[in-house]
Chains A and B, each alone.
Chain A
Amino acid sequence: MIEIKNLKKNFGEKKVLKGINLIVEKGDRIGLIGPSGCGKSTLLRCVNLLEKPTEGEIIFNNNDICKLSDLSNIRRKIGMVFQQFNLFEHLTVLDNITLAPIKLKIMDETTAKKEAIKLLKEIKLDSYANSYPKELSGGQKQRVAIVRTLIMNPDIILFDEPTSALDPEMIGEVTELISTLANNGMTMVIVSHELNFIKSFCNKVAFINDGKILEIGTSKEIFNNPKNEKLKSFLSKIKNK
């Protein structure tokens, strides 16, 4: 579905991604792990072109999306969920979800609202349709943010630490929703420090260090039988915390 070839990203002089190769197949649940600052977020942000890659290719539906000038059509097929939720604070929950499909003329207003309510019902937040984001808890906000990408009917969703900003008791409701999506066949790439979640949930895991993927494999291979020394020490540090 997505093939990332020799992806590099510099911020000025600073080299952050140093040649990433990664293939995402339909239905994959890929976990990205690695120490803070290694480039996980940057990699996700390059995939939906919030950052423009310095070099390399990202093949999506047979197109190198780095070369496209109109990003709109690509971005709506690649959903993104952020650590800080990033709901539109001035809009109600319902309007947050329907804004893009209406303004991009994918749905008319009635259809979009119906669809949004249906999705909100599935996450049991339909009673909050007319509330503003500031009235929601963190877990509720994140679930609305996920639904906001779902209504675009994306081919893949990128999650950048979706539970890091949450109080511990709210992590479950969000990971549960993510699991439901996965069971329905959604393709996803997840950056998370919740290694237990990654371990049980992802079919593939990539360990990134200093802008390169040092090891990639099934989640069993990565967590139970790591080969790379840096990965070993990364895992043991986390375990000992």
Chain B
Amino acid sequence: MNYIIENFYYSVIYDNRYKFILEGLRNTCLIAFLAVILGTIIGVVIAIIRNYHENTNKLPILNYLAKVYVTVIRGTPSILQLMIIYYIIFKSVDVNIVFVGVLAFGINSGAYVAEIIRAGINSINKGQIEAGYSLGLNYSKVMRYIVFPPAIKNILPALGNEFITLVKETAVGAYIGIVELTKASDIIASRTYDYFFPLIIIAIIYLSLTIFISKLLNIMERRLKND
């Protein structure tokens, strides 16, 4: 028993080591939150470009680039994307490493969000869209008033999953030295030579975060359904 308490003391309290955990928690949340916003913006833009092209055959070059982006991002490991952005693109630039994380995870998430939104758009039956056109509404009005409102309800669960995935994915940031939760536990363990508490603590934190988010999403979903 004493051994455990002592172990906990050295992992968390001694030398204010809990501060690493707090910093890690802050960075994990910050990166996941900003990346999901960036990813959603990118995803919406990409999905609209692709849908607009499918409907009108306009914007062929943008559509091609959007397709390449989605294929490349979904076809390579996120850790690789992170390293390419940090070690190649920002090689000789002095840049805030958390910002690099937000950028990399946002760009990564955007490709997945784009596909989720595309599926959401396609889940609205074509008849309603045609009815909208036949009343004289144009593409953007049909999208805004007929497709998006019900599509958002359909895709919310998938978007929520994407956010939860993102929270866990940020752990990859440790690899380039971002002090997020995983790196924080690593720093502590490298001082105490004991991984037990550092790892268990961050596991509990990750789990709490993801459970919290999924509860939040459940509430949002229920609200939307009752609308």
Contacts and interface: CB of A to CB of B under 8 A. Distances in A.
Q: Which among A72, A85, A87, A103 has the greatest number of chain B C-beta atoms within 10 A?
A: A103
Interface in A125-176: 145, 148-149, 152
Nearest to A82: B127
A86 B135 contact: no
Given A99-B145, A103-B145, A86 B137 contact: no
Interface in B110-145: 125, 127-128, 130-138, 141, 145
Interface in B134-159: 134-138, 141, 145-146, 149-150, 153
Interface of B: 125, 127-128, 130-138, 141, 145-146, 149-150, 153
Contacts of A1: none
Interface of A: 48, 50, 71-80, 82, 84-90, 99-100, 103-104, 145, 148-149, 152
B137 A104 contact: yes
A145 B150 CA distance: 19
Contacts of A90: 149-150, 153
B145 A104 contact: no
A100 B130 contact: no
B13 to A, nearest CB: 54
A82 B138 contact: no
B130 A50 contact: yes
Q: Which 4 A-B pairs have the closest CB atoms?
A: A76-B136, A100-B135, A86-B127, A86-B131
B131 A79 contact: no
A82 B137 contact: no
A74 B135 CA distance: 9
